[in-house]
Amino acid sequence: MNTKKSKPKVLGKKPILDEDEFDPKYCKMRTSIMLDLEIIDGFKELAKKKGTKYQSLMRDTLRDALDNSKYVELEERLSKVEKVLAKKKA
């Protein structure tokens, strides 16, 4: 980030971020996906109960699923290591 205070660069009325200020975690890409109506309705209902938007809830659910799959992979690898170590002790 810039250490000195300067006027933000603008294009029209929108400010332009410097290249070092870009954070990819805020970048989103439009996509198209076919889902069953019951899935969409379920997310809408759940989002309404939680007071959030259903698309945000879907995105968070997908992100959690990815994080969980990484955890499952790690757990499987640890299980294999434990089996190998148990065999060496026996």
- Quote the pTM value: 0.53
pLDDT range class, residue 18, cuts 50, 70, 90: low
Contact (Cβ atoms closer than 8 angstroms) between residue 72 and residue 66: no
Distance between CA 43 and CA 33 in Å, rounded?
A: 15
- Say what the pLDDT of residue 5 is: 57
pLDDT digits (tens, 9 = 90+) for 40-72: 999 999 999 999 999 999 999 998 888 877 777
Question: Taking the domains of the chain in order of start, what are their residue ranges?
Answer: 22-89
DSSP 8-state secondary structure symbol assigned to residue 52: S
> Which residues have C-beta within 8 Å of that of residue 45, sequence separation ≥ 6?
none
